[in-house]
Amino acid sequence: MNSVFEKFTLKGGKFLIGEKVFLEKLNKIKVFIFDWDGVFTDGSKDANLQSKFNESDSVGLNLLRFSYYLKYQQTPVVAIVSGEKNLSAFTLVKREFIHKHYFKIPHKIMAFHHLCESLNISAEETAFVFDDILDLSIASKCGLRMYVSKPSAVLFDNHILKNQLADYVCFSKDFYAVREVCELLMGLYNNFEEAIHHRIEFSHTYQSYLELKRAIQTENYSFVENKIKAIDI
């Protein structure tokens, strides 16, 4: 067994497809898509229906993007797709220069189709990190699927497994699943130590990546008048 697969399996992660197929899928990925509630957050809301994210996950996402840059000499596209309007998501999106942010999307597959069409990519070139029922329309179409499970969702877990809607099931609960997925994929890109070294040294290579990242103009979209529309924020 590949040492990275072994490490994550020993921690409690579950690979639902073979190593070779997982790597084949990963090598096609050009876009990373994340749900928000239950993925970047623990799913809890305050009285104003707002949530908060974890800084460890944000760091992990930055490292994954740098890892991809080291491997392919370009930055990957990153998108967040949410059924709600989360102020904390807008904070992360702005600070981390996320390419595309879809919010208040009642049927997420519409955002997925819009994303693929706008980038002229195929579904198999997308990876998705998700956690619940509203995400399954995308999980049934995209290329690589990482599922953040909940101890209470016994029947839903079974549904995921029975219908082959995930390729990896995270061991992290509540927070840190994004960091888990990012380190897993970095490990499989085989440049985790290289990425860490460049980041610690704040090397010229890392600064070149940052320059490209900071040039990204975030695009915000929502569901307006029965279609996906760009929103000025």
Distances (CA, A) of 90 to 53, 82, 125: 11, 11, 25
Angle, helix 204-214 to helix 192-201, in steps of 10 degrees = 90
Q: Is the overall model pTM greater than 0.75, yes or no?
A: yes
Q: Residue 193: what pLDDT?
A: 97
Give the range of the structural domain holding residue 65, as residue numbers without chain letter: 3-228
Q: Residue 43: what pLDDT?
A: 55
- d(C-alpha 151, C-alpha 147), whole Å: 13
* Residue at 233 is within a domain: no
* Residue at 139 is within a domain: yes
* Residue at 175 is within a domain: yes
Per-residue tens of pLDDT for the chain, all 233 residues: 689 999 999 999 999 999 999 999 999 999 999 999 989 986 556 555 556 778 899 999 999 999 999 999 999 999 999 998 888 899 999 999 999 999 999 999 999 999 999 999 999 999 999 999 999 999 999 999 999 999 899 999 999 999 999 999 999 986 899 999 999 999 999 999 999 999 999 999 999 999 999 999 999 999 998 899 999 87
Look at the chain and report how many structural domains it folds into: 1
* Residue at 75 is within a domain: yes
Q: Residue 52: what pLDDT?
A: 72
* Residue at 151 is within a domain: yes
Q: Residue 49: what pLDDT?
A: 53
For 119-141, letters b (16+ CB in 10 Å) and e give bebebebbbbbbbbebbbbbbeb
The CATH number of whichever domain residue 200 belongs to comes to 3.40.50.1000
